[in-house]
Amino acid sequence: MLTERVDVIATTVSGSIQDWQKVERIQPLFREQGLQRVHLHVVTSHQAARETARKVLQEGGRLPISAGGSGTFKNVLEGYNEQECDEEEEEDPEKAAPQENTSWGNLKSSFR
């Protein structure tokens, strides 16, 4: 049995999940594969998917699954990315410090 935690974030606004019986089958299918810690988070908007992804990462989730269309996928991915950036800044405040006023410094800061 695998002990990894899996968090499935599904949106009710997704056009690609017309049949909600598919969503209800997600947890049993993961369990059949040996993943017992499967959490299903059903949200009503893409913004809620993003916020849920951030919360899941804060709580220790590391295996996100997006159940929905491209908007759901994008927002789950961005939620995880935002949370990881926040954690990096908390760990190393120097990363958040202003860069020197050079082209390289401006370029580096634009990718944070």
Determine the pLDDT at residue 27. Answer: 87
Q: What pTM did the predictor assign? A: 0.69
Report the alpha-carbon distance of residue 106 to residue 111 in Å, rounded: 9
Number of compact structural domains in the chain: 1
**89 found inside a domain:** yes
Question: Residue 54 pLDDT > 50, yes or no?
Answer: yes
**109 found inside a domain:** no
Domain span holding position 72: 2-93
**74 found inside a domain:** yes
Q: What is the CATH number of the domain that holds 67?
A: 3.40.50.10330
**20 found inside a domain:** yes
Question: Residue 106 pLDDT > 60, yes or no?
Answer: no
**Judging by DSSP bridges, how do beta strands 2-11 and 63-67 pair with one another?**
parallel
Report the alpha-carbon distance of residue 37 to residue 76 in Å, rounded: 19
**30 found inside a domain:** yes
68-95 pLDDT, tens digit each: 889 999 999 999 888 777 766 666 655 5
**63 found inside a domain:** yes
Determine the pLDDT at residue 14. Answer: 67
